[in-house]
Amino acid sequence: MNQKTVGLTLRAVVIALALILAASPGLPLLDGVAYAQSAAPALTASATPDNTTVQLSWTAITGAESYELYIQENGGAWGAPMSITTGTTYDHTPVTAGSTYGYYVRAVVGGTAGTWSNYDEVTIPGGTSAPTGQSTLTADPDGLTGVDLSWTAVTGATSYDLRRWNGATSSWEGIGGTLTGTSHDDDGLDSGSTYYYVIRAVNAGGNGPWSSEGGVGYTSVTLPGTTSEPVLSLTHTSRTVVDLSWTAVAADATYVVQRRKTTNDGSADTVGNWEDLDDDLSETSYTDSEAAFDTTTGVETTSYSYRVYALVDGEQTDYSNIKSVSIPETSARPPTPAGLTVTVGGHDRLIITWSDSAGASSHQLRYKRGDGNFGSASTRSSGWTHTGLSAETEYTYQVRAINVNGPSDWSAEVSATTSATTSTSGQLGTPSGLRAVDATAGDPLVPGIKVTWNRVSNADGYDVAVWTGAAWESVTLGGDANAIATTVAKREVTVTTNINTNIAADTMYLVVIRATADDLNTPNDAADDNRGDWSAPVSVTTDAVQPVMPTEDHDSDAATPEIPTQNGLTVVARGESVLWITWTAITNAASYTLQWRLSGSSASWNSIPVTGATNYAHTGRSAATTYHYRVRAENSGGVSAWSAEAEGDTWARQLATPTGLTVVDATADGTVGVKISWNKVNGATGYELQEWNAGATPPAWQDLTGTAGTTPESSTSVTDTSGVTAGGGPYYYIVRAVNGDVTSAWSAPASGSAKATAPGAITLQVEPTGQTMIRLTWPANDDATSYELEWIEGGLEAFTDFTSQTKVTLPATPNYYSHTGLKAGTRYSYRLRAVLPQDVKSTWPTASTQVVTRPLAPGLSATAVGHDTMKLTFDMVGLDGAGLAAAADYQVQSRESGSTTWTAVTLVAAGTAGGFECDTATKMCTANDSATLTENTTYFYRIRASNTPTGVPAVTSYWSMTRQRTSDDPTTN
């Protein structure tokens, strides 16, 4: 069997490539005129201590009429030249925190621009930095199927990235979206399962570190198998049947299942009341077989909602979650899917597609091989590739749709036959040994790729195709002038420009090939040729175009080779051991080699590789020494010529710059000040100290009173009290060493502040949030680094240093604290103060803040006394060290079975038969319900303790609940 031409088919994974070209900022364009001066200005740029201004200065050029200054921000476009007509300084303001500014300057003499200065740049501190703090992540079960997640806030975070481990995909998956708070509820999980979480802080500057727990890079939590209230799930078994199931609450619990119907007439919902389906179930499942569609005129949709609650020892739990289901109007099955199509994808695969059926919840597909029988159906999406098939074999397919009413009819059968393999007798094999290499050549260089392969038996030609990034393009073989003729013997081709998109430099391409043979001895008719399978693709990346160093012809003689220029190569001294070298970027350069040597004909060159920049700080040099430099560019296509040399001299040796400059608080005896200290410099006879004056016009460094000018300081510390205020600053200082007329360089600035004045007492807010927890909140102090909290069990009007209180140190944020593990119904006393920098603390409040935790819930039981009276027995609750023994200390409510409304119960007054009384020995209280009850009726009762302790807000316990049925009235039977 012959395999005819079927066009180029892609069988491999589509490969996407992006080449990112990075280049350092280059010089602004020169105006093309001859240099007016051989000397270039030496430029220095530095930020003022308050980071509001960059101060620029440069050396004067003899005869300069003006200077042109260029400014660049964050590597962007260079701004228009600024003309400086007076002086050799300029203050660049305003500047933006977090931005980097680059500068060049050159002189203008006689209307002609001179040589560029060195390049200098300054990065302004501040801006947005990625968070550095690490959140502490806490995970607690929320019922059977949920996890409550909370984490500590991170300074500088604008949001948080929360992830959960997916064991099925072995990957961390983001949950919760963009989270700006410090908590999230992860619901819909599996009870009894273990889950793992991590979180990190995020802002515009990037991501912070991931959280961890106990040295493990995640936080884990295992959900329980039971919960305090049922967790409901359902299955819509058939049109009118809904199977409900829920999680167990306790071994002896009973359950009440409720249903609510909702209909819609096309404009609004009509919602019914909750109704009991069963009020005494001991199992954890129920089948609703009467979920019928409402046939009332005008009703378009009908749905049912379900919920469950449990009864444990007479106490009702909270309601479960609510689950809903929509009921189809009819029992009609979905229509049979249309458009079933089977497409041949090769000798071992077929591609099956169809149109989805309206109302279907899923689709099933089945197939048979040849004349065999159909196999079992499997759920498939409408776009499935059936792989691993046999070559030259017929396969037949059918599809059907599924919904709650059942399956549709099977579609009509559609068949297709896989293609033959290349190993079948009479078929051409796939070329092996395919190789593609760069073949860039010529003058000028023309990018190209050379393709070679091994011979295929019985082939008399080949098809070659190249992937250009957007499409496969066929390569013209034979006598095409743009390609070397290909024969069976040669088996190679060089591709340059004979595809729709010409071969480009520094670009990756894919190449595939297949063998061909003339089938009917018609060499001019390719339509009947026999063709083998395409080979797997191979990749090749062409070389970059070799960088070229600019040249100039000094004698205008075309026969004389041009000489490479310095290409902006500039050497500027930055001290006695540092030289700053810069040069102009060269087109196509991927990296540079900078070489240096000392003076003298025998001095050898030393190489320094430089990538991603057109400058280099050469450190560790000898003082008062001349160094020579040259540079060349490189990429995968080759190297440029060396530039012409440039040279520079390091400074002569000077006094060392003072180190260890520190500024600390020196407030004492009511005098506010800061102490400035530094290390001694060998050879120095004194020191000059300057402070930054931001209020001057323009802002500038100025001599610190009595420390500079005619009387240098002889010591290595000074206390500054002039203009220093409590909590003010920061105050900036620099220092340099002196010995006669010889000085060192100024030190880097150091800053410090004086202590702030201690703030007043903090107003603390407290409230009980349970039987064992109290929540404390307070107004934030923006200067606080932490807080000190002291507490004691019991009432205490004022703390002293001798009170046995407990102290806890809390972080600066958040401004709240949950005190847990406490005793129920117990009074606690608290006080709080803020801790500021330099150990400044706010004053303690004069009186403590007191609160009482919720008391324990009174245990409740009910006993029917005849057919119309109920006796209630409950615990005498303890509160603030005493027992609650009055009827007013308890709230009692009841409801009749079938009602959802609770009403207050009036207890029979003390001193009457069955009246309220408490036994302090047994700690039990009894009383009769004063209402006359109905015979043979179930009543639900609930009770809670309620009291207002002295000096604190009122507190209540949680409800306790029971139920009991009255007996029959014997007089009516």
More confident residue, 428 or 798: 798
CA distance 616 to 627: 14
What gap in Å lies between CA 859 and CA 959, rounded to an integer? 9
Nearest to 199 by CA among 138, 280, 270: 138
Distance of CA 205 to the CA centre of its chain: 11
Task: Compute the half-sphere exposure of residue 278: CA atoms within 13 Å on the CB side of its CA.
Answer: 14
How many whole angstroms separate alpha carbon 77 and alpha carbon 841?
Answer: 51
- Does 7 score more than 70 pLDDT? no
Q: Tens digits of per-residue pLDDT, 649-699?
A: 887 767 888 999 999 998 888 888 999 999 998 888 889 898 888 777 777
Is residue 329's pLDDT more than 60?
yes
Question: Looking at the whole model, is its pTM more than 0.75?
Answer: no
Q: What pLDDT is stored for residue 960 in this prediction?
A: 92
Contact of 135 with 112, CB cutoff 8 Å:
no
DSSP, res 526? G
What is the band of 261 on the pLDDT scale with cuts at 50, 70, 90? very high
pLDDT of 505 reads 81
In this prediction, residue 78 carries a pLDDT of 84
Tokens of 773: 């927890």
pLDDT at 819 over 70: yes
For residue range 921-935, what is the model confidence (pLDDT) as tens digits? 999 999 999 888 888
Can the peptide bond before residue 779 be classed as cis, meaning omega within 30 degrees of 0? no
Q: State pLDDT tens for residues 198-218.
A: 999 988 767 888 887 655 678
% pLDDT > 70, the chain = 87
In sequence order, which residues have a C-beta less than 8 Å from that of residue 928 and are 6 or more positions away? 865, 869, 870, 871, 872, 907, 908, 914, 915
**Best CA proximity match to 179, nearest among 164, 189, 196:** 164
β-bridge mates for residue 874, sequence order = 860, 925
> At residue 417, does pLDDT exceed 70?
yes
Residue 536 has what DSSP assignment? Answer: P
**What integer pLDDT is reported at residue 745 of this predicted model?**
82
What does the alpha-carbon distance between residue 677 and residue 663 come to, in Å, rounded to a whole number? 7
Res 27: pLDDT: 29
> Residue 822 and residue 793: Cα distance in Å, rounded?
9
Return the SS3 of 63.
coil
DSSP single-letter state for residue 179: B
Question: For residue 257, is pLDDT > 80?
Answer: yes
Burial (CB count within 10 angstroms: exposed 0-12, middle 13-18, buried 19+), residue 100: middle
> How many CB atoms are located within 10 Å of the residue 266 CB?
8
pLDDT at 17 over 70: no
pLDDT at 507: 83
φ, ψ of residue 888 to 5 degrees: the values are: -70, -15
| Contacts for 880 with CB less than 8 Å, ≥ 6 apart | 825, 826, 827, 852, 949, 950
Beta-carbon contacts of residue 510 (< 8 Å; ≥ 6 apart): 15, 466, 467, 537, 538, 539
Dist CA 512 CA 535 (whole Å): 6
Instruction: Tell me the per-residue pLDDT of 601-657, one tens digit each, with 9 for 90 and over.
Output: 788 899 998 888 888 888 888 888 899 999 998 887 788 889 889 998 887 767 888
Q: Compute how many other C-beta atoms are within 10 angstroms of the C-beta atom of residue 313.
A: 14
Q: In this predicted structure, which of 6-10, 33-37, 186-190, 278-282 has the lowest mean pLDDT?
A: 6-10
Q: Is the pLDDT at 956 greater than 60, yes or no?
A: yes
pLDDT (tens digit per residue) in 884-921: 999 889 999 999 988 889 999 999 988 888 899 999 89
pLDDT in tens, 37-70: 456 888 989 888 778 889 999 988 888 889 999 9
Kindly provide the b/e burial profile for residues 891-915, where b requires at least 16 CB atoms within 10 angstroms of the residue's own CB. ebbbbeeeeeeeeebebbeeeeebe
Mean of the per-residue pLDDT values of the chain: 82
User: Could you please report the per-residue DSSP string of 729-787?
Assistant: --EEEEEEEEETTEE-PPPPPEEE-PPPPPP-PPPPEEEE-SSS-EEEE----TT-SEE
Q: Average pLDDT, stretch 321-330?
A: 88
Q: What span, in angstroms and rounded, lies between the C-alpha atoms of 251 and 282?
A: 9
- Asked if 220 and 196 touch (Cβ cutoff 8 Å), the reply is yes
Region 847-864 average pLDDT: 92
C-alpha distance from residue 809 to each of 120, 785, 813, 830, 835 (Å): 48, 11, 12, 13, 10
Q: Say whether pLDDT at 796 is over 50.
A: yes
Closest by Cα among 53, 27, 23 to 40: 27
- Percentage of the chain surpassing pLDDT 90? 27
Q: How confident is the model at residue 8 (pLDDT cuts 50, 70, 90)?
A: very low
* 116-125, 440-449, 824-833, range with the lowest pLDDT: 440-449
Q: Which of 84-98, 182-196, 407-421, 527-541 has the lowest mean pLDDT?
A: 527-541
For residues 215-229, give the mean pLDDT.
78
Write down the pLDDT at residue 180: 85
What is the structure's pLDDT at 414? 94
Does residue 226 contact residue 192 with C-beta atoms inside 8 Å?
no
Per-residue pLDDT at 25 exceeds 80: no
- The confidence score (pLDDT) of residue 712 equals 67
The mean pLDDT of 321-333, rounded to a whole number, is 88
- pLDDT surpasses 80 at 238: yes
pLDDT value of residue 34:
34
Least confident range from 226-230, 479-483, 532-536, 941-945: namely: 479-483
Best-predicted range by mean pLDDT among 443-452, 720-729, 896-905? Answer: 896-905
More confident residue, 713 or 172: 172
So what's the pLDDT on residue 488?
Answer: 38
Question: Does the pLDDT value for residue 487 go beyond 80?
Answer: no
